[in-house]
Amino acid sequence: VIVPRIMSARHEQVVAMSFEDFAKLNPSTHLTSNPVHCLRSKYVFKHNPPCSYRFLGNEHLMKANPDIGCFFEEEGQKQARRAAGEEAATFWARREAEPEGKGSPEQDEQAPEGTDDHGDASATRVAE
């Protein structure tokens, strides 16, 4: 008589993991899969950023907010936001470092005298 084996020989190892660690790796949690919780986060509690509802395939739009228990954010999204922040900081640092009289290149190109800013002579006012 042959008795089939019901259980497999390998046993799965259970890993103890905190909610924060799990939520950093998995976009779907009891918070992000509850649309009422996400709407309350945005409109009632006015969290910034609010808890993002997880739509399958749109995980790249989710933003982390550890204060409210939302930890998932794709690495590419973090890097893009970090790069945008550095780019903006560089822009403002350069702008503050410019001499006060110097403006943008568009401002440096003055319209010829006797014309308006667009070079239209018909719209200029003649000083008396």
What does 1-27 look like in DSSP terms, one character per residue? -----SS-S--PPP----HHHHHHH-S
Rounded-to-integer distance, Cα 97 and Cα 79, Å: 27
pLDDT digits (tens, 9 = 90+) for 68-83: 999 999 886 677 777 7
Write out the two tokens for 67. 């204060």
Q: Which residue has the tokens 């945005």?
A: 42
- Looking at every residue in the chain, the average pLDDT score rounds to 77
pLDDT digits (tens, 9 = 90+) for 11-37: 666 778 899 999 999 999 999 999 999
Q: How many other CB atoms are found less than 10 A from the CB of residue 117?
A: 9
pTM: 0.52
The alpha helices in 2-125, defined as continuous H runs, are: 19-25, 35-39, 75-97, 105-108
